[in-house]
Amino acid sequence: MVHKKRCEMGEIKEETRESASAIAGQTISRRILVAEDNKAVQDGVSAILDSMGFKVALAGNGAEALDAFVDRSFDLVLTDPEMPIMDGWRLTRCIKERSPDTPVVWMTGADKGTVLKKMKREPVASVLFKPFRVKDLQSTVRGALGFKEGEHGNVGVAQGGRY
């Protein structure tokens, strides 16, 4: 069991939870949380990840994503930084407060320069710029999970065509 702080819409709550990253020697569960307010992007990303053999949980905003993260363990979080209720910037910080070893990847259609500046200040593994290609999503996910395990992977900035 790991004692962590729960970050919720500006307030911090104490709670105890057993997390996947806290259990020594645990293998990857292949669970990915996707936080995205655009249903078409949710569906596309989910289908790609499903075809890769991952178990995918979907959330339409950061608050829903944080609730899912608190309830279950995930190996990776993919989030849009700009969503209603709780944005992905805040979600990223809350996840890293809870589970510093869980990689977070941003998927965004925002201005590349602005995002890259913010990325330097935030604990994010990678960013995908929308629209992105299937192979870019696949390599970024593999790289982020490899990076989590201490392996060298294709973690970085990807930009491409529609998925």
| CATH architecture of residue range(s) 2-9+28-159 | 3-Layer(aba) Sandwich (3.40)
Residue showing tokens 């989910």: 46
Q: What type of residue sits at position 12?
A: I
pLDDT at 1: 33
Residue-range domain boundaries for the chain:
2-9+28-159
Q: Compute the distance between CA of residue 157 and CA of residue 137 in angstroms, rounded to an integer.
A: 10
pLDDT tens-digit series, residues 143-152: 888 844 434 3
3-state per-residue secondary structure call for the chain? CEEEEEEECCEEEEEEECCHHHCCCCCCCCEEEEECCCHHHHHHHHHHHHHCCCEEEEECCHHHHHHHHHHCCCCEEEECCCCCCCCHHHHHHHHHHHCCCCCEEEEECCCHHHHHHHHHHCCCCEEEECCCCHHHHHHHHHHHHHHHCCCCCCCCEEECCCC
Q: Alpha carbon of 149 to those of 27, 58, 91, 159: distances in Å?
A: 10, 24, 22, 24
Overall pTM > 0.85: no
> What is the tens place of the pLDDT at every residue in 31-79?
999 999 999 999 999 999 999 999 999 999 999 999 999 999 899 999 9
Q: pLDDT > 70: what percent of the chain?
A: 72
Nearest-CA neighbor of 156 among 144, 146, 145, 148?
A: 144
CA distances from 53 to 5, 47, 83 (A): 31, 10, 27
Give me the percent of the chain exceeding a pLDDT of 90.
47
Q: Does residue 97 have a pLDDT over 50? A: yes
pLDDT at 7: 60
pLDDT of residue 29: 65
Q: What is the pLDDT of residue 31?
A: 94
Res 46: pLDDT: 96
Higher pLDDT, 3 or 75: 75
